[in-house]
Amino acid sequence: MINNKSDVAKMKALIISSDWGPTCPLSSLLYRSGFKVEVITSGFFSKEKHLLKKRKFLEANKFISKYEIVLDKELILEKLVSKNCEDYHIIFASDDIMLKVIADSDIDIAKKLHILPVQSEGDIKHIYSKIGFSEVLKKANIRTPSFLVAKG
């Protein structure tokens, strides 16, 4: 719980992203809310000049205090696992690809629960699945439209 402005100034956020799109507005929002923002993102561009542009942008971005660019989304997961996630007050997987990578990974369940926006291990299946989300809502007696799982 945040009690005063000095508590907010100490708060740290980590954004993990394979898609650069949501990272910029999210880092701005968190920074303006008083967070120190760090980013781990993938160098998903195949051309070196695009990676260089991304690096220059990150270096000039006043909202991001620290960043790491890795070659692919699997390396983002390795970096995430090597970090002490307890150092961060909030962790954002800012795109569906990263949510799926984390949910399907073999990371320790306690770390997964700290990273993902869920309450229990059973809730992880709803993270990137509309059907899974509907099933979680149904268990909580929240009505949703009927659905069938199509089998190919």
Taking residues 104-133, report their average pLDDT.
Answer: 84
Taking residues 120-147, report their average pLDDT.
Answer: 82
Give the pLDDT confidence of 7-64 residue by residue, as tens digits.
545 799 999 988 777 888 899 999 999 999 999 988 655 455 566 666 777 777 889 8
* CATH 3.40.50 boundaries in the chain: 5-117
Pseudo-torsion of CA 110, 114, 117, 123, nearest 10°?
10
Output the pLDDT for position 15: 93
What percent of the chain lies above the pLDDT cut of 90? Answer: 17
Question: Which residues in 84-151 belong to E strands, given as ranges?
Answer: 90-93
Does the pLDDT at position 80 exceed 60?
yes
Output the pLDDT for position 53: 67
Does the pLDDT at position 1 exceed 50?
no
Distance CA 29, CA 109 (A): 29
Architecture of domain 5-117: 3-Layer(aba) Sandwich (3.40)
